[in-house]
Chains A and B, each alone.
Chain A
Amino acid sequence: MTEPLLSLRDIHVRFAGRKGAVARAVDGVDLDVQPGEVLALVGESGWGKTTLARTILGLERPAEGEVRFRGTALSYDTASLRRYRRAVQMVFQDPTGSLNPRQTIYEAVAEGLRIQKIPGDEAARVAEALSRSGLRPPERFMPLYPYEVSGGQRQRVVIAGAMALEPELIVADEPVSSLDASVRGEILQLMLSLVRETGVTILVVTHDLGLAWNIADRIAVMYLGRIVEQGTTEELLDDPRHPYTRALLSVVPEMDRMTPQVLQGEAPDPTRIPSGCRFHPRCPVAEERCKETDPELQAVDGVDPGHRAACILLGAP
């Protein structure tokens, strides 16, 4: 097993909520990301997924735990962070908001190069990044402003800006959810081709299992700040073991082979995480002991040796 590119160990991120309550947005996450893979971090909205993404980027500091990149722990002084950001980049959900409306596309892509003071021909690098992101010929796009191109093209510009730094890891937070449905495919295609051509690793944060099926090699399912199941895409979506994953999968439209399990209520907010297994109040198969034990991720008997789920009822149908 090769050394993981990114390694998260026991990450806890806490925020002060209202009235002094503490919101445990990320509540003990261990995760390894292998070089060259596409990992989908799946879960519903709440603070967990995006907070974890921002923690990986160094935009949030964990209260406990460690972020290790290439085996070295992240340090948070300005110089180290800047070096780190050459290697780890982020693509945000809203392509229109991510671009300064007063900057041309050229400047938007060149910004990273200038901040990182990368030597060499800036214009050439910008052109290459734009081409690689599918905006050809690049000269046509350079003088334009963001509002002059389509939504999908804006997201390509953001991706070009990230790729210009030749990063090793890209964290994409809901990269296509604010784009029109028919346009999403081209961005996902671009991401896959970048992995093939440059070997970049991608961590996609999304709520959409269909997207994970489309492009991810592995999936990690988050619930209320914890990873409750992880494994290869094929295995996890074919044979999910954690009750939350099963429920999520069952309500995907056109999921004919499963009976829909519509969970009642909504996930509690991160200041009031249930005791024991955090999913037990909504779990369709919860038992008494689930209120007391907080399960760890354990290996599941399946084809994939990396398939793990955090449920003490494992093995039960």
Chain B
Amino acid sequence: MTDMASPDPGQEHAAPLLSVRDLHVTYRGAEGGVPAVRGVSFDLAAGETLGLAGESGCGKSTLAGAILRLLPKGTTVTGEVLLNGEDVLTMKPGRLRAVRWTEAAIVFQGALHGLNPVQRIGAQVAEPLEVHGRAEGSKAKVAELLEVVGIPARRAAEYPHQLSGGQRQRVLIALALACDPSLLIADEPTTALDVMVQAQVLDLLEKLQRELGLAVVFITHDLSTLAANCERIAVMYAGRIVEEGPSRDVFRSPAHPYAAALAAAFPVIGDMRYRRAPSGLGGDPPDPRAIPSGCSFHPRCSVALPACTTDEIELRIVGPGRRAACVHAGEAVSAG
């Protein structure tokens, strides 16, 4: 699981495949709006991998849904989501449907629920093909997709419960690839899988990314997995990006205290600093309905200043390609 291939330097000047600008997503709640995403911006070039790290309530799954406008009715979305230059948020429904799956696709989490338990695997993988008018030769395409993800084509006739968790996750990947998208959004694709199976799925994603030139947004709470599999990482907390930069740097020497706490939750084996010294944060990640004032991390922050309770901090530059939203950014914050 070494680094993915870096993008061609010439491409850095080309328009990014995905460009998210100042995205705000507010759900309709019983007592007013619930802000799930509060001003997120990032770019993703073709063939690049971005890891989105965060825990429950940070808005990462909402962000994934927003990119393809898969959010429930009544949700307010502002900002821009430029996919190949077109704003997904202002697309007409017809164009949106055409774009979904053919340009960008999502691999959902929880292989248990992503598949219809009473439909055969082959039929489910064929569905996007039918929806997008590519039903011709779909059987062959389904067989090809299954082989690509490492499932023998003859198993297309089976039902989800006959497959193991790892195999179901692969089917979901095959589903996502059905219409040859250029962007894959993987939402917790390896959570709830065994360590070895996780490694298999990650290997598969890396192979696909290499061979098909896919751009991947990898969403998970496991910062160490992102460090090993993505070029860049963005850490989300309470609906905002609090740190972003090259993955190794963010994991090994995080600049934001939350990123540091998250990194410390994944001890590096062999590193004596982690031996018999678990470090963790008190409290819970904030409920989007009750986000603390000022810097939303201040209640759990060990280096909070009085100003942190009132002032929201913007992302500031802490190094080449690195930014962090902390008043201490620029000073060294230890990784624990």
A77 contacts chain B at the CB level, 8 A cutoff: no
Bound complex: CA A181 to CA B258 (Å):
11
Instruction: Give the interface SS of chain B, mostly helix, strand, loop or mixed.
Output: loop
B283 touches A150 (CB 8 A): yes
For A67, list chain B residues within 8 Å (CB).
Answer: none
- Tell yes or no: B282 within 8 A of A by CB: yes
* Interface-facing stretch out of A26-34, A110-118, A125-133, A254-262: A254-262
Q: A21 vs B172: C-alpha distance in the bound complex, in angstroms?
A: 31
A183-212 contacts to B, CB under 8 A, are: 183-189, 192, 207-211
B79 within 8 A of A: no
Smallest beta-carbon distance B326→chain A, Å: 16
What A residues does B267 contact at CB under 8 A? 210-211, 213-214
Q: Are B284 and A152 in contact, with the CB atoms below 8 A?
A: yes
Residues of B within 8 Å of A, CB-based: how many? Answer: 44
Q: Determine the chain B residues whose CB is within 8 A of the CB of A252 once the complex forms.
A: 195, 224, 269
The answer to whether B279 touches A189, judged by C-beta atoms less than 8 angstroms apart, is yes
- Report whether B281 and A186 are in contact in the complex, using a CB–CB cutoff of 8 Å: yes
Across the interface, do B199 and A188 meet the contact criterion of CB distance under 8 Å? no
Interface window among B98-106, B138-146, B225-233: B225-233
Closest to B251 in A: A254
Q: Give min CB distance, A83 to chain B, whole Å.
A: 33
A221-246, CB < 8 A from B:
233-234, 237-238
With A and B bound together, what is the CA distance between A45 and B194 in angstroms? 7
Q: Is the CB of A182 within 8 A of B196?
A: no
Interface status of A6 (Cβ within 8 A of chain B): no
CB of A288 within 8 Å of the partner chain: no
Which single residue of chain B is at the shortest CB-CB distance from A207?
B195
- Asked if B48 lies at the interface with its beta carbon under 8 angstroms from chain A, I say no
Q: Mark A59-76, 1 if CB is under 8 A from B, else 0.
A: 000000000000000000
Interface size, chain A (Cβ < 8 Å): 42
Minimal Cβ-Cβ distance residue in A for B336: A185
Residues in A with CB closer than 8 Å to B312 are: none
CB distance from B219 to the nearest CB of A (A): 14
- Residues from chain B with Cβ under 8 Å of A207 in the complex: 194-195
Q: Closest Cβ of chain B: how far from A214's Cβ, in Å?
A: 5
- Residue B13, interface by CB 8 Å: no
B75 CB–A CB distance under 8 Å: no
Interface centre among A182, A183, A188, A248 (most CB of B within 10 A): A182
Whether the Cβ atoms of B196 and A185 lie closer than 8 Å is: no
Evaluate contact between A44 and B195: CB separation under 8 angstroms.
Answer: yes
Report whether A253 and B229 are in contact in the complex, using a CB–CB cutoff of 8 Å: yes
Q: How far is the CA of A208 from the CA of B198 in the complex (A)?
A: 12
Whether A214 contacts B274 by the Cβ 8 Å rule is yes
B153 at the interface (CB under 8 A from A): no
Closest to B262 in A: A182
How far does the alpha carbon of A82 sit from the alpha carbon of B98 in the complex, in Å?
A: 64
Contact A215 B278 (CB under 8 A): yes
Tell me, yes or no, whether B84 is within 8 Å of chain A by CB: no
Known: A182-B55, A237-B269. A213 touches B1 (CB 8 A): no
> In the complex the two chains form, is A262's CB within 8 Å of B196's CB?
yes
Residue in chain A with minimal CB distance to B237: A182
Q: Is residue B276 contacting chain A, with contact meaning CB distance below 8 A?
A: yes
Contact A266 B166 (CB under 8 A): yes
Asked if residues B269 and A209 are in contact (CB atoms below 8 Å), the reply is yes
Q: Does A151 contact B (CB under 8 A)?
A: yes
Q: Which residues of B contact A255 (CB under 8 A)?
A: 269
A165-185 to B contact mask, C-beta < 8 Å, 1/0: 000000000000000111111
- A181 — nearest CB in chain B belongs to which residue? B265
Docked Cα-Cα span, A192 to B194, in Å, equals: 26
The minimal Cβ–Cβ distance linking A240 to chain B, given in whole angstroms, is 11
Cβ contacts under 8 Å, A25 to chain B = none
* A248 contacts across to B, CB distance below 8 A: 195-196
CA A264 to CA B166, docked complex, whole Å: 11
Give 1 or 0 for each of B202-238: 1 = CB within 8 Å of chain A CB. 0100000000000000000111110111000000000
Interface-central residue, A151, A234, A248, A252, by most chain B CB under 10 Å: A252
Residues of A within 8 A of B265 (CB): 181-182, 184-185
Q: How far is the CB of A151 from chain B (nearest CB, A)?
A: 6
Sample 13 A-B pairs with CB under 8 A, ordered by A number.
A181-B221, A186-B282, A187-B280, A189-B280, A208-B195, A210-B274, A215-B276, A234-B275, A251-B1, A252-B195, A253-B229, A255-B269, A257-B270
Interface residues of B (CB under 8 A from A): 1, 55-56, 164, 166, 194-200, 203, 221-225, 227-229, 251, 258, 261-262, 264-270, 274-285
Contacts A211-B267, A262-B196 known; 12 new A-B pairs at CB < 8 A: A182-B280, A183-B283, A183-B284, A184-B265, A186-B281, A215-B278, A252-B269, A254-B251, A254-B266, A254-B268, A262-B203, A263-B200
